[in-house]
A and B are shown apart, each in its own frame.
Chain A
Amino acid sequence: MTQCAEPNLYDYWPYEDRPKIVWPEGKKLAFWIAPNIEYYEFQPPHNDKRQPWPRGNPDITGFSQRDYGNRVGHLRLMELLDRYNLRGSVSLNIALLDHHPEIIEDCVKRNWEFFSHGIYNTRYSYGMDEAQERAVLKDCIESVEKATGQRIRGYLAPALTHTENTIDLIADNDFWYSCDLFQDDQPQPLKTKTGNLVSLPYSLEVNDVITYGSLSQSPSRYADVLKRHFDQLLLEGEKSGTVMCIPLHAYLVSQPHRIRPFEEALKHITAHSDDVWFATGAEIAGYFRENYWDQAIADIDRRGLSTGGTGFTG
């Protein structure tokens, strides 16, 4: 298969001199929080492109740490977010609806939003044909609808694994936002064959997996990183509204040595409620689609930066 040098999913759009975004009630920063609620299989099937468990099956320390997240961790995080009146937008491995419905009930009770994070975090999208990927999306939409009554509008590919079709297919299934692309701190329309799909900032670099995994930082350092990230985006939000997400994993952030330092960051962020819109993924993406979609496209056109075409079509 020919591989493209350029995904062509969005046009280059300089941060400077963009038309202004103002969030509801004049807010400068749209803040959302995305707990990943995941199921990693004990005995996942083989995939040629990626080995699910670094140590091979079974990887009991890896598995049981994630299970700790499900048994103990999500609850700690939910109770913490309750205290700050924050609603989560759940990045959901859809099979968890079947495995652990008790966790889902607790999210529904809190009026949290769900978006799709694939079926399992141990089933990768690589190598799926279009029909297979459509079937997975149908499963995701229908399963969440059946269990919660909610129509999901967001997508983050399982374990961040994609095909060339993924972004087009979610747009075609009337999803409003994708968390799969990390090119910006503001939303941007994606170039899909159909639909109106927004690339919503997911702030991957302040994801707890990055902080605690890739960067190996301490809990107090994570709180500091989150505060600095927030302060800068709030400052820039004066000029034009920005977005900050905190993507979380209970098996990491809800460890007993990490949850209270994380609370320090929430205290700081929620103390700025005059300037911050505390929202969910679909609320931010929906507002952008309604109010700023055309403005963004017009600005890219005006600057002569529109290259035409859609994803992977050159």
Chain B
Amino acid sequence: MTPEYLTYEKRAYGNDHDRYDWSYSKLRAPVRPEGVADVTAFIVVPLEFFPLNPSGKPFKHPGAMVTPYPDLRHFSTRDYGNRVGIYRILEALEAEGLKAVIPMNGEVLSRCAPLVERIKAGGHEIAAHGVSTDHIHYDGLSKEEESAYIEKTLELFGAVGITPTTWMSPARNESYNTPDLLTRAGFKVCLDWEMDQVPVAMKTETGPLTCLPNHGELNDFNLMHTKRQSEDEWREQILESAAFLASEAKTTGARVFGFTLTPYISGLPFRVRALREILAGLKEKGGVEVKTASQIASAWGDTI
């Protein structure tokens, strides 16, 4: 083994990166921003485009094509989400009067124009989700290449008159530069990181980027597709998160958590009953409110 492998340049107090400071939750005074509930949940509904011919760089995006080309099976099952599943999710949200944050790949905007109009009119927050699932941000891209991905995304949103301020990276993957490039492009909120139970301000070259805890362990794709759990197990886990955090909030201060509803997963007919039970259940939990990402960021404001 080379001697370099056994030297530890960043072995010192705090984190081994300077994106945000180390902060032990116990040592913080409980934060209860004005007008903020004990627990705020945010619901992330990604709209993604999965090309039939993905490059797979630097890894295969979750949900990308599986079988040899042309994988019409997975292309069309993903497309089902944007045609059918999403409408079930929107209806279920509306039945409870809830607004979601809906990150969209730029390439979805023209492909699903009526859906985008419908979501706009519904008062949900539209967030940027990169160009497509085949445009993953990673360390192998030059700063210029990655900037071009972000510019292209904003151009596609601009063409339909939307200026998103919340960002979620394709596959929630980033390069070392991503946070700097995002704030430079005008983004305020990011849904890629999950290091705390409250919003965290990340340091970038052009001001703070608010990171909201988007729990990968509660993601519907992760639980019901990757882990093959039932929709009842999924429902229990989301509702238990809300209930546990509500009980904890009495001593810790306000809590935030987010989870994902993937249209081609949660929008399947056999899962919609559990979805309705989740949304109704969240409302029934005392002290739990559902907000969009930018609503949370502005409600927490200076306390972040």
Interface residues of A (CB under 8 A from B): 39, 41-43, 45, 47, 54-61, 64-65, 67-68, 70-72, 75-76, 95, 98-103, 106, 119-120, 123, 126-129, 132, 135-136, 212, 216-220, 252, 255-261
A306–B208 CA distance with the chains assembled, in angstroms: 65
Interface status of B142 (Cβ within 8 A of chain A): no
Chain A residues within an 8 Å CB radius of B23? 71
Q: Is the CB of B5 within 8 A of A58?
A: no
B1 interface contact, C-beta 8 A: yes
Q: Which residues of A lie under 8 Å from residue B240 when comparing CB positions?
A: 219, 256-257, 260-261
> A71-B195, A98-B11, A218-B236 are contacts. A252–B229 as well, Cβ < 8 Å?
no
Q: Which residues of B contact A212 (CB under 8 A)?
A: 217
**Cα distance A119–B216 when bound, in Å?**
27
Knowing A41-B16, A260-B244, the reply to whether A64 touches B193 (Cβ < 8 A) is yes
- Say which residue of A68, A102, A123, A256 sits within 8 Å of B27 (CB atoms): A102
Given A100-B24, A256-B248, 8 more A-B residue pairs with CB atoms under 8 Å apart are A60-B192, A61-B172, A99-B22, A100-B22, A119-B8, A132-B1, A257-B218, A257-B241
Residue of A98, A216, A256 touching B227 (CB-CB under 8 A): A216
Of the candidates A67, A95, A260, the one having the most CB atoms from chain B within 10 angstroms of its own CB is: A67
Cβ contacts under 8 Å, B139 to chain A: 56-58
Contacts of B11 in A (CB 8 A): 95, 98-99, 119
Q: Which residues of A contact B27 (CB under 8 A)?
A: 102
User: In the complex, A218 Cα to B236 Cα: how many Å?
Assistant: 9
Q: Give the residue of B1, B172, B194 whose beta carbon is less than 8 angstroms from that of A129.
A: B1
Query: Least Cβ distance of B230 to chain A in Å?
Result: 8
Structural contact, A47 and B5, CB atoms closer than 8 A = yes
Say which one of B157-165, B173-181, B291-299 lies at the interface with A: B173-181
Tell me the bound Cα distance from A145 to B211 in angstroms: 37
B25 within 8 A of A: yes
* The residue from A54, A75, A217 contacting B26, defined by CB atoms under 8 A apart: A75
* Contact between B175 and A58, CB atoms less than 8 A apart: yes
When C-beta atoms are compared, the residue in chain A nearest to B227 turns out to be A216
For the complex, what is the distance from the CA of A95 to the CA of B195, rounded to whole Å? 19
For residue B99, give the distance in angstroms from its CB to the closest CB of chain A: 22
B217 pairs with A42, CB closer than 8 A: no
B43 to chain A, nearest CB (A): 15
A216 (CB) vs chain B CBs: closest residue: B227
Q: Is the CB of A55 within 8 A of B59?
A: yes
Please state if A42 and B17 are interface contacts (CB–CB under 8 Å).
yes
Contact A42 B15, CB 8 Å, known A71-B23, A132-B1, A257-B241: yes
Contact A99 B16 (CB under 8 A): yes
B151 contacts the other chain (CB 8 A): no
User: In the complex, A54→B13 CA distance in Å?
Assistant: 26
Q: Which residues of B contact A260 (CB under 8 A)?
A: 240, 244
Closest beta carbon of chain B to A161's beta carbon, Å: 11
- B218-237 to A contact mask, C-beta < 8 Å, 1/0: 10000000111100010011
CA distance A100 to B238 in the complex (A): 30
**How far, in whole Å, are A102 and B17 apart by their CA atoms in the complex?**
18
